[in-house]
Amino acid sequence: MSKHSSIDSFRDLRPAAANGLYDRRAFLKGGTAFATAIGGYTLSETLNAQSLVDDPWSASAGTPTGPYEARSRFENSVVRTMTNPNGEPRSQQSRTPHHMLDGTFTPNGLHFVISRSGPPDIDPDQHRLAIHGLVKQPLIFTLDSLMRYPMVSRMAFVECGGNSAPMWSPEPLDANVQALHGLVSSAEWSGVMLSTLLEEAGIEPSAKWLIAEGSDSLALHRSVPLSKALDDAMIAMYQNGERLMPGNGYPMRLLLPGWEGNMNVKWLRRIELVDQPAMSIYEARTYAPILPGGKAYQFYFLQEVKSFITHPSPGLLLSDHGFYEISGIAYSANGRISKVMVSADGGESWAEAELQAPVLPKAFTRFRIPWQWDGGPAVLQSRAWDEAGYVQPTRSEIVAARGEASRVPNVNGFPSQHYNGPTSWQVNQTGEVKHVYA
Amino acid sequence: MYMRSVQFLMLTGLFIHCAVINAQSPGLGTPIDEIDIAAWNIDVLPDGTGLPSGEGNAVQGKIIYEQKCIVCHGLNGQGGISPALAGGEPLSNGIDTAKTIGNFWPYATTIFDYTRRAMPWFAPRTLTDNEVYSLTAYLLALNNIIDQEDIMDATSLPAVEMPNRDGFIIRFPERTP
């Protein structure tokens, strides 16, 4: 069979939008029509059919299975990037390699981490959580005691308020999806609802906020409206089924589904109910984005609706013409993703992508759409809607409202925060993908 | 009759137990007095709640700054491997304008709070309260917000009027108490 037979199959299908986008349900309807489609992102030439022989790894028994599974040695390049590997006295960021992952949750070893002074080495038996302030009875909890409470599991994304910050650049950057959007990840979190513990302590009527504080060396603290704490906040102790990773707050963190990552305080040791916000450095200074004209937003709680294409994206060479699946990630603090549109011609025409079920609120939603690359130039772009009716703004809309950086920033820099505009990937005729504005 | 008594006792026992715990909580938190949380409770709020006794001024603060802070934050708070603390351009220069205490921070209490809880980076929470007041005064004076001799304490610090106090727009007022 020819590797190009998939092109013939496509001739019978009606395009959903220009430049090779096909109906999102083509696979579901078409069945075997794509049986010979090229599967993905090999960096080498697709093999021609040839006679098969036993491979060397089939000739003898394999290796013993270890107590904790390690991935194939061929996957060792799938790693986070690090901005401060030697632990200098500044924050460190590790970014998720979205272009090398699929699905809707992030493996624990690849979940993004921002740490201001390095994860503390916490003995879980010695760790304590105090709840005090404007409560009827201050309480202290051990990890053992919290483990006896009714638990809840839910998928939720966590995103740094500074994720996508390079997109404030006035010019496109020579950067991949990991560099641009690697400070967001999604996981299944399990723990105790914070409302349960607050009700046990007894909330005084004058309480309006809580201050959450970690046991890291900087005792990082953030103010959270009590209404969010009573809505869906969780004291999370498990991440994708196992205890939290140290970088994600072991042994417990505050989880505020959909809200600014920095507020999801890690290594949580103290919650104080108060009548006013603390105006901690992170809410008074760091995560208060400056607006055109000189005012600044304060309390930018929500990580608003956003999407980006992970496949294809820079670093993934399109080795041949023909079929590719365009896929990516969408999420919103305002609930479920309701629709993702994809363009292959820089926003001139759009087709609706398939949303991978289940579509869960405040969690990653994977979108997919078939694409036939004819070898010509293409600009791929996605745009998401959420169930609350919010739509990802166009780049011109977000720049009009929020401005852009006065100079091209370092790709690891944070010229501003809370960018949720679209991302455009240009595919050139050699199959290379790069970041552009379109 | 005996069984009935046991059942009665069990039922009443269960009833009493339910009556003392919250219906939605197993009630496994251990009561603690605020005084036993005091060592952890280092929050300082904008109205001055949480500020300790003690005092300091910029003259005293400059000496401490040049011993413990200058290595990261540079001479006169001009910045080094850590951000600048003084000076700064007008925020209208661009959304990526570097934020300093002078051009951005809305509350002076935040300086005291962060310095006490997190600085110096290599030895947080080793400064005395007088040292933190002195450093706070020094940083305010560097930004020409107070004078060199002004005493910062639990009363004067929350009363400092920061230049950018009114420079903010609440992003989600419907979600902000």
Same domain, A135 and A234: yes
Query: What is the number of CB-based contacts under 8 A between chain A and chain B?
Result: 191
Residues 6+ apart with CB under 8 A from B89: B97, B98, B103
Whether residue A43 lies inside any domain: the answer is no
Q: Does A274 touch chain B (CB under 8 A)?
A: yes
Residue B10 is predicted with a pLDDT of 45
Q: Does B35 touch chain A (CB under 8 A)?
A: no
Question: β-strand A351-352 against A253-255: which pairing, if any?
Answer: unpaired
CATH number for position A150 = 3.90.420.10
| Average of per-residue pLDDT values in chain A | 93
Q: Does A204 touch chain B (CB under 8 A)?
A: no
Q: Does B107 touch chain A (CB under 8 A)?
A: yes
Same domain, A223 and A315: no
Q: CA nearest A233: which of A272, A191, A261, A199?
A: A191
Residue A38 is predicted with a pLDDT of 36
Same domain, A215 and A143: yes
Q: Could you read off the pLDDT of A234-253 as tens digits, one per residue?
A: 999 999 999 999 999 999 99
- Is residue A46's pLDDT more than 70? no
Whether residue A65 lies inside any domain: the answer is no
Rounded-to-integer distance, Cα B33 and Cα B41, Å:
12
Confidence of residue B43 (pLDDT cuts 50, 70, 90): very high
Same domain, A278 and A407: no
Q: Could you read off the pLDDT of B77-106 as tens digits, one per residue?
A: 999 999 999 999 999 999 999 999 999 999
Under an 8 A CB cutoff, do A200 and B25 touch?
Answer: yes
- Is residue B7's pLDDT more than 70? no
What b-and-e string marks burial along A70-104, b requiring 16 or more CB atoms within 10 Å of the CB? eeeeeeeeeebbebeeeeeeeebbbbbbbbbbeeb
Confidence of residue A47 (pLDDT cuts 50, 70, 90): low
* Residues of chain A contacting residue B92, judged by C-beta atoms under 8 Å apart: 293-294
Q: Does A138 touch chain B (CB under 8 A)?
A: yes
Q: Could you read off the pLDDT of A71-109 as tens digits, one per residue?
A: 999 999 999 999 999 988 889 999 999 999 999 999 999
Collapsed DSSP state (helix, strand, coil) of residue B75: helix
CATH number for position A379 = 2.60.40.650
Under an 8 A CB cutoff, do A409 and B96 touch?
Answer: yes
Type of residue found at A299: F
Give me the domain span that covers residue A160.
128-286
Same domain, A310 and A260: no
Q: Does A299 touch chain B (CB under 8 A)?
A: yes
Q: Could you read off the pLDDT of B115-136 as tens digits, one per residue?
A: 999 999 999 999 999 999 999 9
- Is residue B4's pLDDT more than 50? no
Chosen for mutation from A126, A132, A198 (greatest number of chain B CBs closer than 10 Å) is: A132
Least CB-CB distance to A416: which of B30, B96, B170? B96
Alpha-carbon separation of residue B92 from A58, A181, A403, B30 (angstroms): 67, 27, 11, 51
Least CB-CB distance to A296: which of B90, B167, B177? B167
Tokens linked to A152: 């809840």
Q: CA nearest A150: which of A197, A214, A205?
A: A197
Number of domains in chain A: 2
- Is residue A43's pLDDT more than 50? no
ipTM of the complex: 0.90
Q: Does B2 touch chain A (CB under 8 A)?
A: no
The shortest C-alpha distance from A388 to chain B (Å) reads 15
Residue A40 is predicted with a pLDDT of 46
Q: Does A296 touch chain B (CB under 8 A)?
A: yes
* Residues of chain A contacting residue B82, judged by C-beta atoms under 8 Å apart: 89-90
Residue A50 is predicted with a pLDDT of 82
Rounded-to-integer distance, Cα A235 and Cα A194, Å:
6
Under an 8 A CB cutoff, do A130 and B105 touch?
Answer: no
The predicted model gives A166-188 an average pLDDT of 98
Chosen for mutation from A116, A196, A280 (greatest number of chain B CBs closer than 10 Å) is: A280
Q: Does A410 touch chain B (CB under 8 A)?
A: no
Domains of chain B: 42-166 (1.10.760.10)
8 Å CB contact between A210 and A131: no
Same domain, A224 and A143: yes
